[in-house]
Structure 1
Amino acid sequence: MKNCLSHKLLSSISLGAVLLTTSLTQGAYAAEGEVMLEEITVTARRRSESLQSVPVAVTAFSADALGKVNMTDITSITESVPSTTLKVSRGTNTTITAYIRGIGQQDPVAGFESGVGIYLDDVYLNRPQGAVLQIMDVERIEVLRGPQGTLYGRNTIGGALKYVTKRLGDEPEMRVKLSGGTYGQLDGLASFSAPVSDGLKVGGALAYFSNNGYGDNLTTGKNQYDKDIFAARLSAELTPSENFFLRLSGDYTKDNSNEKSGHRLQVSNNTNAPVLDNVYDTRGGITGPQEVSQKGVSLAMELEVNDMVTLKSTTAYREDDTETVIDFDALAPNDFDVPAIYRNDQLSQEFQVVYEQDKLNGIFGFYYLDANAMHSFDVVLAGLGVTAYTFGDVNTKTWAAFADVNYDISETFSVGLGGRYTSDKRTATVLRQTFLGANSPAFGNDTAFQIAQPADFTESDTYKKFTPKVSLKWQPSDDMNLYASFSQGFKGGGFDPRGDDRAKDGFLPETVNAFEIGLKSTFAEGRVKTNIATFFSDYKDIQVPGSVGVDSDNDGVEDTFVGTVTNAGKAEIWGVEFESTALLSENLTANVNLGYVNADYKQWLVQDVDISDDKVFQNTPEFTAYMSLNYAQDMNMMGGEGVLDLIGSVAYRSSTHVFEDPIPLLDEDGYALVNASIVWTSEDGGIRVGLHGKNLTDKHYKVAGYNFPTLGLEGSVTAFYGAPRTFTATVDFKF
């Protein structure tokens, strides 16, 4: 029955795609009296190219399109990108969980590389903490699906998200945007840029995002799901000559939002506390420091040696600090509470040589990263009178040499060859101790008595791999691009910094062999564009991090948990993605994006027993769909001025599993989100006023959770939910 419904849904959506074919990604413009879709330029292959000519599955969003529908952070775009999940991690406000085509990272703890790379102006963000980037001062956002390694600094096995800030203009410019809405939302953004002298420009932006939250903590009285985020950026650009460019930039973000506890999905085991009616409410009783800050500085340089050769260098340093408290049991008693500290820093250097000639184009690069990730946390089970303390420190030193070359064999046919050699060295120090009492000495309890030390080790290993890439592209006309590619992805192994002494054996690297065939077309005299990609991935030694409850003293009660990492043997992932934009009339633009992913474990051995039939892929819905309509009316034709946009969209995601095991109480059934915007833009683009409604049907949908049903006295099965129905009014001025 489920398969039948899925087939009917896909069939109906496909029919809609034929009839309709977002304004989110493309607009329209007039050329010699004709109206056609605007051409989008991306840098997916580290050089400027038309989106339709790039032999890569990529979705791009312009700053204008993002602003028109009031996207506030990078997770907002997940609704309209096929086969992609971007969301705020459980129990946090600014940590990201990202999956593309079934590949990602569920648990944002130290010691694990993300399967999806997040890049801020070509700087790879090594840790997910603070990576929910607020959208401000942006030029465009690109989402690349599939392994990336021959073009980018850090190899990423699942895909990459590129956040590109705009370069400073030649004329002084200032912008102020104010937003207000339901749940006490109040946002403000101010940015400026100005030339200081010949060849020197400076610019910056300040932003504040806030709301009062969607629920209440019934124990502490604090707001739940609130937002209190300050962000700033400052940059200076120097062009001492026509062939040399330098940009020095820095950014800072501070998140002072309240701690976020989950909503219990089961009656408590000991006190029989009932399930709350409001899914955004909680009874979590833990209090303490709750603060996340991140900052970074980067220096980018470009030197055009001649018409064919450009040298590039990107040097960057970043760090972030998190102090947080997590109430796993989501109850007033201190039954399963975790105060935690995270510290991350990274230093990276990338060199590139870009070669562009009539028939031969290529990039040759070197990348180095020295990164450290540390966490320190207590697992306090006061009802049992014990605390487990964990300290984990993981250092990563990696370097890589990569190249990607494309040669035009003829005017219509080209071939691409690429390769990457990666060396990852991982060193981990792990200390686990068990104490009697609430909290350990590291978190203020100097009288705590140590009764066990399950882990105390320092281990190191190096993981090396060469990964190739081959692509073929046939472009018989300017309106058609057929391509095929093979690429191999690699993610190094490591050591679980939450484990006991068994974790010193480490976990293996994972690899994927990815095949893709795509067709990009433009027809109807430039009024319709369609992109279709089919893919198959052979995924091996998959790293699946998790946590399990442990009965350390064999009294029948789970009194702590330890981290576990499984290298699941084999899986196959295949699917189809369809993206289409059509100018149905001079005023009406339509968009349909569809994704189908079939992700299936083929081998998962536990003591020589294959349990793959019982396992599922996390955060990978089988179907994703997005449809939007944008009606743009020139008000000058109606006696007014400016342009009025009426925008409506529907985004659908089929049922999604939170963990590698099906958990009916936590897993989310399929759901749809309906959004709408009314936006007026002045004729010169200097003023924009909008009213935006999100999740208009007020759908309550789970996005993450914890599953420890028997740990402690109360047990913990809790969920976190996406935002309810909201309305926001915006006013945007540009001077």
Structure 2
Amino acid sequence: MSQPKFRHSLLALAVASVVSLPAYAQQQEQADENEATALERIEVTARRKTESLQDVPVAVSSFSASDLEEVGVEDITELQQRIPNATIQVSRGTNSTLTAYIRGVGQQDPLWGFEPGVGVYIDDVYIARPQGAVLEVFDLERIEVLRGPQGTLYGKNTIGGALKYVTKELTGYDELSVQGTVGSYNQRDLKISGQTALSDNFYVGAAVASLQRDGFGEYVNTGQENYNKDLLTYRVSARWLINRDMDLKFSYDKTEDESNSKGAHRLQTSLVTGQEPYEDVYDSNTAMPVDNLVETEGWSVVYNWDIDANWGFKSVTAGREGYTDTNIDFNATGEPIFMVPAIYEDEQFTQEFQVTYTNNSNFDFVGGLYYYDGEACGVFGTVLPMYLAAFGGVTVDNGGCVQTDSVAVYGQGSYQLNDDWSLTLGGRYTRDEKEANVFRFTYLGVHYINQAGLETPYDPDQVLNEFGQPFSVNSDFTSGGDWSRFSPHVALNYQANDDVMFYGSYSNGFKSGGVDMRGDKSLNPTIDEPYDPEIVDTFEFGMKSELLDGRMRLNSAIFYSDYQDMQVTVQRVVPAGISSQVLNAGESTVKGFEVETVFAATESLNFTAMLGYIDAEFDSVVYTEPATGETTDVTDAWSFQNTPELTYNIAFDKTFEFSNGQIVWSGNYAYRDDTQMFEAPSPLDQDAYGLVNTSVVWYSNGGQWSVGLHGKNLTDEEYRVGGYNFGPTFGDDAVVSYYGDPRTVSLSVGYKF
């Protein structure tokens, strides 16, 4: 009964903190009138051009490399604490697959061929799949997170927003930086980056990071590490200044993650072994190998041409591919009851041509053509040795490939109506075409498809050649579809004065339709019919302001979204196996508000705060049970997943000057409300919690040396970030969960030559 009071008191504290900043500023202004300084200008490229954060009529958060270094951010999931109405986490039983939600829109299911709802970009290149999308922070210039549909400039699958990872630019100056980190659980990180000029007009750069850590727990029955980290990532780049108006940039990056597969924590006592949940949530058992491999790599060639003072042209040519070989033990008892070995593989090629026009007086425009060609393949085996034990177990092999071709044309222009008012109009037309082949074979006996050495395990003929004729063919079909959509955008800005701007906007976005790659026609005869795209229409009203002589930045937005045909993956246990279906879950409404503020109280003391509130609910959802055909209205029973009602963060940083340099002390408290993991309530749902972090960083005079001490989750909060809920399954339950990082402390030493 005390929790609501506690939660509301925290909300009151957060609101009071934000509201009281101006009053505190006035007190400090009287006490330290000559000490406070204006905030630095923040530049972003949210509208495909460089401009001030305060001039962009978009809800966007920006984090520079120095911001992230100061608080010891290691990968992009830590940004969740500092972005309102956002969920950015490692996906369930993985180490480097991303689950991202913004304003209630995202995609939890990382199955191949499914589309994310939040677009991830590395230097203007779209990353189509969530595998390997938990990007490490190194050799970075900044990260921008755009909230709300970005369909006009960024295309399909950005209906929740977009996350832009911008790498460090090559300048031609000689630079070399080295940073080593040691910390809790035997953390051992090394990051090296540098660049130089080979001639007056040709620059090269490279960066590498080796990230190692022992496990937070262990597989008790085998003694192997659980939640460990074993990752190597690197990037090389080159820039050629062809002449004063043209340049060409090449980039290549690769990441190899060999961390062990992640073992889950059982929430219930096993009916088979009697095993009770372990006291340490990072301990588990497994009946499978813990070998795990995720490889991703990509290249890009970017050509820029400043045609004249007004016109510009850009070409972005890029390719990426990824490979995942992993094992998930859903039962986590050490007995071979419910095991899933899996392989994912994908590749993509993209080409974008972009034209910009700038008239210094009152008009600018950006437009272009975009082409995407991608194939995503996968296969997994559901291994059930205790099911039909008289036959020596059962293995269900499920796999296939989906080919996607997408073409889009877009344009957006802004016109300055007068000194105070400006109008932005834009639109994007996209045509998507998909073709998928799906197979699902049931074999008597046990085999592991990721140990069979098949050259193309996604080809059903290869599986048949390796394992013979199956006991039953559940699925073997080809399906697909094509979808087209025009996504408009309109925004009206009012510059009330030099420091305050108001805007109102309407944006539309859509996430592509597709085919259920787990489809089982023996359980659902219509599963080969493709599901429809998601559509989001969002109305937003916001304010961008700088107050108190530039010492306070206060940005806010309220939004209302009409969310149509949300794609929801439903998996249920039936006597013949797991029944999967992707629903277009009717209509829903999402509304809320966001506040972000930074306040320079004095020259050496800053406060930062963010507050997000969201009210997301289904208006109409009717679910048809595939096995029986019965129709059920679940509108009142379902809620939005990964969408806490309230999020806030309160932070500070204080600088102390010394004769040999300066020390920056920072800290924050990040709060997340109750979170439902899936649409239907389950034991996995996470109660509200807060995380406390602090950092102390010393910078030498001149900035060559830095030493940082970072403490995260200081109260050692246990909080779930995902799990699986299959209930009583094949003789035992499969209700298991995965957790965020425990308390950690790390020490980093860096030197810049």
1:255 is matched with which residue? 257
**How do 1:307-326 residues align onto structure 2 when only pairs under 5 Å count?**
307-326=309-328
Partner Cα distance (1:294, 1:513) in 2: 33
Q: Alpha carbons of 1:351 and 1:32: their partners in 2 closer, same or farther (altered >3 Å)?
A: farther
Query: Is 1:395 aligned to 2:403, yes or no?
Result: yes
State the one-letter code of the partner of 2:11: L
Match 2:598 to one of 576, 581, 594: 581
Contact map agreement 1:405 1:418 (CA 8 A) in 2: yes
Query: Aligned-pair distance for 1:20?
Result: 3.8
State the one-letter code of the partner of 1:642: G
Gaps of at least 5 residues in structure 1 are: 22-29, 553-559
State the one-letter code of the partner of 1:390: N
Query: Aligned-pair distance for 1:34?
Result: 6.2
1:25 is matched with which residue? none
Match 1:655 to one of 674, 693, 697: 674
Partner Cα distance (2:332, 2:52) in 1: 50
Match 1:614 to one of 634, 637, 644: 637
State the one-letter code of the partner of 2:484: K
Partner Cα distance (1:86, 1:514) in 2: 21
For these two proteins, the number of residue pairs brought into alignment is: 715
Query: Aligned-pair distance for 1:443?
Result: 4.8
2:532 is matched with which residue? 508
Q: Alpha carbons of 1:32 and 1:415: their partners in 2 closer, same or farther (altered >3 Å)?
A: farther
Q: Alpha carbons of 1:320 and 1:78: their partners in 2 closer, same or farther (altered >3 Å)?
A: same
Partner Cα distance (2:247, 2:87) in 1: 36
**How do 1:214-225 residues align onto structure 2 when only pairs under 5 Å count?**
214-225=216-227
Query: Aligned-pair distance for 1:151?
Result: 1.5
Partner Cα distance (1:309, 1:220) in 2: 63
1:105 is matched with which residue? 107
1:645 is matched with which residue? 664
Query: Aligned-pair distance for 1:646?
Result: 0.8
User: 3-state SS of the aligned residue for 2:732?
Assistant: coil
Query: Is 1:14 aligned to 2:20, yes or no?
Result: no
Partner Cα distance (2:448, 2:228) in 1: 30
1:546 is matched with which residue? 570
User: 3-state SS of the aligned residue for 1:151?
Assistant: helix
Partner Cα distance (2:490, 2:747) in 1: 48
Partner Cα distance (1:6, 1:484) in 2: 32
Partner Cα distance (1:31, 1:41) in 2: 28
1:27 is matched with which residue? none
Query: Aligned-pair distance for 1:441?
Result: 6.5
Q: Alpha carbons of 1:98 and 1:172: their partners in 2 closer, same or farther (altered >3 Å)?
A: same
Query: Aligned-pair distance for 1:633?
Result: 1.2
State the one-letter code of the partner of 1:369: Y
Query: Is 1:602 aligned to 2:595, yes or no?
Result: no
1:469 is matched with which residue? 489
State the one-letter code of the partner of 1:500: D
User: 3-state SS of the aligned residue for 2:150?
Assistant: coil
Partner Cα distance (1:251, 1:154) in 2: 25
**How do 1:69-80 residues align onto structure 2 when only pairs under 5 Å count?**
69-80=71-82
Match 1:488 to one of 494, 504, 508: 508
2:43 is matched with which residue? 41
Partner Cα distance (1:10, 1:134) in 2: 32
State the one-letter code of the partner of 1:518: G
Query: Aligned-pair distance for 1:242?
Result: 1.5
Query: Aligned-pair distance for 1:289?
Result: 3.9
Query: Is 1:564 aligned to 2:581, yes or no?
Result: yes
Question: When the two structures are superposed, what TM-score results if normalisation uses the length of structure 1?
Answer: 0.95
Partner Cα distance (1:89, 1:644) in 2: 36
1:555 is matched with which residue? none
Partner Cα distance (2:160, 2:449) in 1: 40
Query: Is 1:685 aligned to 2:688, yes or no?
Result: no
Query: Aligned-pair distance for 1:169?
Result: 2.2
Contact map agreement 1:437 1:448 (CA 8 A) in 2: no
Partner Cα distance (1:304, 1:426) in 2: 37
Partner Cα distance (2:255, 2:33) in 1: 43
1:513-560 CA-partner distances (Å, limit 9, x unpaired) = 1010001111111111100100000001110123222212xxxxxxx2
State the one-letter code of the partner of 2:573: G
Query: Aligned-pair distance for 1:222?
Result: 0.9
Query: Aligned-pair distance for 1:685?
Result: 1.2
Partner Cα distance (2:33, 2:96) in 1: 43
Question: When the two structures are superposed, what TM-score results if normalisation uses the length of structure 2?
Answer: 0.93
Partner Cα distance (1:293, 1:137) in 2: 19
1:2-29 CA-partner distances (Å, limit 9, x unpaired) = 77665544333111112247xxxxxxxx
1:144-200 CA-partner distances (Å, limit 9, x unpaired) = 000112222555111000000111123210000000001010000001100000210
1:113-152 CA-partner distances (Å, limit 9, x unpaired) = 1000000000000000011111111100000000112222
User: 3-state SS of the aligned residue for 2:135?
Assistant: coil
**How do 1:152-551 residues align onto structure 2 when only pairs under 5 Å count?**
152=154, 154-287=156-289, 289-357=291-359, 358-384=361-387, 385-439=393-447, 443-444=451-452, 450-501=470-521, 502-551=526-575
Q: Alpha carbons of 1:261 and 1:516: their partners in 2 closer, same or farther (altered >3 Å)?
A: same
1:557 is matched with which residue? none
Contact map agreement 1:436 1:449 (CA 8 A) in 2: no
2:128 is matched with which residue? 126
1:556-580 CA-partner distances (Å, limit 9, x unpaired) = xxxx213221111000000010001
2:56 is matched with which residue? 54
Contact map agreement 1:438 1:448 (CA 8 A) in 2: no
